[in-house]
Amino acid sequence: MLFIYLYILYKKSIANMTNNLHFSIKGLLYTYNNILYIYEAIMHLIHDIPTFVNQKKWYINVIVDVPKWSNNKYEYDHNLWCFRLDRVIHSSMYYPVDYGFIPQTLSLDWDPCDVCLLVTNPTFPGCIIKARPIWILYTSDNAWDDPKIIAVPTSDVDPRRDEVHDIDDLWHHMKEELFTIFKQIKFLEHEKYDKVEVRWFGSVIEAQQEIITSMKRYQESLKSE
């Protein structure tokens, strides 16, 4: 009888140890998953996302600030790591494209490289879209060069722009619309309007060169911090 009693105690102790180990492992997994969730939740959209999805194919990441057809000017706050409403466009104009930026780049105005993304439907602030550059629009604002990369989603995201590879492939009215929007959108912002200059379009090669230059400028800025 004593042997049976000791055997039962032994089995119970083993079972308790197994249960405790099981709960410990579950606790570790729960903690690990929460750490991953927290990391993802606080991911910095400029510093933690690469510029390229595929550099050989010239597929880039584009982070959307302002969705197509919106006149709310959202901007990513570098310090708060979230989007804020910078202003509502003072006129009745709206963005005819998804407007955003390329991560890990830096333009001369000390913001990431701007992108006009020709999408079929509006997305939302913070949406990450795989895209390819097709040309560039040269503008300046407050005496700083402020070029806009014109891009389209890659074929697997949206095949409707597959035939568009350079400035000559885009329909004429879209060019005029883009050329007009970045001047006239500030028409009622009197202090800014006179400082905006929209110059000319450049080729896909110039757009690619601007992205590379902005990437190098970003890397240099990290070294100086």
- Domain positions in the chain are 1-42, 52-223
Quote the strand ranges of the chain, DSSP E: 52-54, 59-66, 72-77, 82-88, 98-101, 114-117, 128-141, 144-145, 148-153, 196-202
- List the Cα angle 214/219/223 in 5-degree steps: 140
* The pLDDT of residue 87: 94
8 Å CB contact between 132 and 143: no
Average pLDDT of the chain is 85
* pLDDT tens column, 76-134: 999 999 999 999 999 889 999 999 999 999 999 899 999 999 999 999 999 999 999 99
pLDDT cut 70: percent of the chain above it: 81
Residue bearing the bigger pLDDT, 155 or 143: 155
Q: Which two tokens stand for residue 81?
A: 């790591």
- Mean pLDDT along residues 29-35: 50
CATH classification of 52-223 is 3.90.80.10, yes or no?
A: yes
pLDDT per residue as tens digits for the range 149-191:
999 999 999 999 999 998 788 888 888 888 888 888 888 887 8
List, for residues 189-224, the tens digit of each pLDDT value.
878 877 888 888 999 999 999 999 999 999 999 987
Predicted pLDDT at 36: 43
Asked whether the predicted pLDDT for residue 12 surpasses 70, the reply is no
